[in-house]
Amino acid sequence: MSEEFILEMQDIVKEFPGVKALKGVQLKVRPGTVHTLMGENGAGKSTLVKCLIGMQHVTSGTVIYKGKKVNFKTTQEALDAGISMIHQELSPVLERSVSDNVWLGREPKKGLIVDRKKMRQDCLELFQKIGMSLDPDEKMKNLTVAKMQMVEIVKAISYHSSIVIMDEPTSALTGTEVEDLFQIVADLKSRGVAIIYISHKMEEIFRISDDISIFRDGEYIITDRAENLTQNKVIELMVGREITDMFPKKECSIGEVVLKVENLCSGKAVKNVSFDLRKGEILGFAGLVGAGRTETMETIFGIRSKTDGKIYKDGIEISIRSPEDAIKNHIGMLTEDRRGNGIIGILSVKMNSVLANLKNYGFPVNAKKMDADTKLYIERLGIKTPAMASLIQNLSGGNQQKVLLARWLLTDPDILIVDEPTRGIDVGAKTEIHNIISELAAMGKAIIVISSELPEVMGIADRVVVMRESKITGIIKRSEMTQEIIMKYATLDTETQAEA
């Protein structure tokens, strides 16, 4: 191996039953650099790094690390050798504390007893080092997704690795937390640590990358210095075509009010929220992380308890105490945490698709109808899967998201709530998801889209509701939307609601 590289992966092939995920790809990583892997979901990026760290085993190919040929059988072997990974899909131990999660399996001990005082102090020192404010004794279940992501980042750094793999590390972070992460990355680089970075966010990629490797459909396309590439060139190489319209918004007539929410409250999480939603409308919800957008939708969908306020559907007040009540009222909700409360990884694509609609298949189950419905939505949404019987956990993030969309569309909702629908999804799949949402609105469905990406919410929404500290601060028409106006309301220190 050339001394220029800390890692070389040569001619890597990975086969799953019915699909060849990696087709002889390569990767060469220099120490002290950020090497970004780019490609659409299903391009092979995550599979490649999972093969590196022993989560999956290569079918054929060679891995050379620090000049020696390696073949890690387990993630622990990779960690012991100095390679750690921050995963895109979080898997915290929710009932345990932050410090328990950071030091899980390697707790400091006094004899046979865990030294909780030292573990807590070690945690605080790590937090202080990276400028993070968090209570080591807080239970993980009480944290936001963003805070859980930061704990995962701290955990990976705590191994003092030579290579740190970051798979979509900023997908749930606020702007301030992203800046904190970039400071961590700069510090790691200065100490000679190599960062393998996977992201779909173009601005951050070109800000921190030294080298970029591009993959498509399990094949290696190119590696180049970031300074030699442009966003348009990267997108073209990723998808094999030019993307001309990221937000394919269809013009459609907006009809009568389908959903009306009056002074909705849920403890301290939702405070006197009022808005309406019309047939054929895409209503965006914007705001900083923690503004109360998700909590509002969880209250409407019956995941959270309503403590005050009224919900009307088609002019009639309805009572929603559970998701089952919401489904009966033809309301569907695609949640933001695809892995935590979305897909069931050990079940098939078919079972994940029909899960919310099982009662409609009778008893005994009408297997033919179930197969026909699943096939219809695989074709309709362009879901890439070897078969409907394939495990959903083997699909790319974008295809998993489409299966979850199929799940709710099979319930034939009048109202569909989608929370962060393109989080962790590549640029090509994002366009497809946007197109599906736009087509649903054109069919007369009423859509609510929560997104932390302002270009996305502005690109597809007819109006945008802005929230701050659990309250609505502004409702903005499409003709008057700008990022500046949305951010003004997102940071506005006021209790008054305004409609632009």
Specify if 392 maps to a domain: yes
Specify if 244 maps to a domain: no
Between CA 387 and CA 420 the distance in angstroms is 27
Over range 69-74, report the average pLDDT: 94
Specify if 85 maps to a domain: yes
Same domain, 168 and 195: yes
Same domain, 364 and 419: yes
Same domain, 152 and 34: yes
The pLDDT of residue 116 is above 80: yes
Domain span holding position 293: 257-490
Same domain, 218 and 96: yes
> pLDDT tens-digit profile of 392-450?
988 877 788 889 888 988 888 999 999 988 876 666 777 888 888 898 899 999 999 99
496: confidence class by pLDDT, cuts 50, 70, 90: very low
170: confidence class by pLDDT, cuts 50, 70, 90: confident
Specify if 453 maps to a domain: yes
Same domain, 348 and 452: yes
Same domain, 287 and 418: yes
Same domain, 310 and 202: no
Instruction: Single out the residue of 113, 116, 79, 110 nearest to residue 97, CA to CA.
Output: 116
Specify if 499 maps to a domain: no
Residues in the chain: 500
pTM above 0.85, yes or no: no
Same domain, 194 and 328: no
The two tokens of residue 24 are 């002889």
The reported pLDDT for the residue numbered 90 is: 67
Over range 450-470, report the average pLDDT: 89
The pLDDT of residue 35 is above 90: yes
Specify if 76 maps to a domain: yes
SS3 track for 45-112? HHHHHHHHCCCCCCCEEEEEECCEEECCCCHHHHHHHCEEEECCCCCCCCCCEHHHHHCCCCCCEECC
Same domain, 57 and 141: yes
The pLDDT of residue 154 is above 90: no
Same domain, 226 and 375: no
Same domain, 224 and 313: no
Total domains in the chain come to: 2
Same domain, 297 and 381: yes
Share of the chain above pLDDT 70, in %: 91
**Domain containing 305 — which CATH number?**
3.40.50.300
Q: Could you say which of 205, 239, 273 is where a domain stops? A: 239
The reported pLDDT for the residue numbered 20 is: 83
> 145-159, 249-263, 351-365 — which is least confidently predicted?
145-159
Q: Could you say which of 190, 210, 239 is where a domain stops? A: 239
Between CA 106 and CA 114 the distance in angstroms is 10
The reported pLDDT for the residue numbered 495 is: 45
Q: Could you say which of 182, 211, 239 is where a domain stops? A: 239
Specify if 279 maps to a domain: yes
Higher pLDDT, 144 or 293: 293
- Tell me the one-letter amino acid at 342: G
> pLDDT tens-digit profile of 217-246?
889 999 999 999 988 888 788 877 554 556
Specify if 252 maps to a domain: no
